[in-house]
Amino acid sequence: MENFKTFDLYNPTSEHLMLRQMIRSFTQEQVEPQASLYDRKEEFNLPLFKKLGELGLLGITADPEFGGSGMDALSAVIVHEELSWSDPGFCLAYLAHSMLLVNNFSINASTEQKQKWLPKMCDGSWVGAMAMSEPQVGTDVLGMKTNATLTPEGYQLNGQKMWITNGTQDEKGTPADVMLVYAITGETKGRPQISTFLVEKGRPGYRVGQKIKDKSGMRASNTAEIVFDNCVVPETHLIGHLGDSLNHMMRNLEIERLTLAAMSLGIAKRSLQIMNRYASEREAFGKPLKEFGQIQKYIADSYAEYAACRTYVYDTARKLDLNKQGQRVDSDGVKLIATTMAKKVADNAIQVLGGYGYVGEYHVERLWRDSKLLEIGGGTLEAHHKNITRDLSKNPQFLD
């Protein structure tokens, strides 16, 4: 048999390994000590977030010419996996900025727009967001009501956006420094024409409607309703061309869903570590819990499902081209299977720990709460079922 060299799927290059080591140290030293506190307070740790800019992580996949780090999808997966091991809520704020805003903007903006705005997005000067969902519209993006009308002064935006991560920076209702906003700008062949606009903090008519409180999980990231009331932005704030937004959305959803799946890996790994250690230390009826078949099933099933999902996520990341679209089968596939896996593994950990798992001391109850959002945000499980079935029907060669 011909000899062949194997490679590390999870750290394929020395650069990937160095990135993992850096973000793991940062997570253990600076993210972990504050994770439970900010979850309880339901607050976003803005000073800590800005340190990610100092590390070059806020623009991890962005154009290096304009302050980004120019790394690949696999690098983004590494960061999201490592941060979520400790604080999925904080990581969600990172995803909203680095993937939904910065990656999106870096791929779709003009050179002039990137020169003007991208450095501030990458170095931590600005905290940003992307606004797509609305009070009555989630998956059905063509049903959105927010609109932009061209006037002599520029495009006038009117409407409401809902569930916007990073929509507010603090408890005072300070809006995101910068936001990519999807809005209806007309109609093409009987379908709504959706376009993308960049809106900066300080624009009259751009404000926070409310901070969403009492969330089940992801409490360390701020979620807000955003209102646009006759908010005028210059024509130069149009990203790409009128009607480009569906392409912007579809391309960026692939990296969004992949990194949400990566967050699931961090949650599952931490839950596994906790239940494995507890089962070795805790005794019942004179022997460690790990000696009981019921506990063995929770641990073994959790490990096997985690390992399988991790392989799928990293293999998908290895092949994902950030500048193309049409990779939805697997970006949806990894999110479909990994997010459900994370919730199950966290639930198993609670079961193994019993009463201790149900309180905050061992963290698994927080990880369990955080995991549920991953089955909803960035596309629901039901949307993935529809997309994958449709894509396989149209392209049966994917199964070859």
Print burial letters for 294-314: b (CB count within 10 Å at least 16), e (below 16).
ebeebbeebbebbeebbebbb
CA distance 41 to 100: 25
CA distance 214 to 374: 17
CA distance 36 to 71: 30
Of the CA atoms within 13 Å of residue 270, those in its CB half-sphere come to 29
Ramachandran assignment for 81, one of left (phi > 0), alpha (psi -120 to 50 degrees), beta (any other): alpha
Between strands 283-284 and 238-239, the pairing is: unpaired
End-to-end CA distance of the chain: 24
Which H or E run includes 193? Answer: strand 191-200
Task: List, by residue number, the catalytic residues.
Answer: 256
Long-range contacts of 247-250 (CB under 8 A, 24+ apart): 247/325, 248/104, 248/107, 248/108, 248/196, 249/132, 249/141, 249/182, 249/194, 250/325, 250/328
Strand-pair partners of 395: none
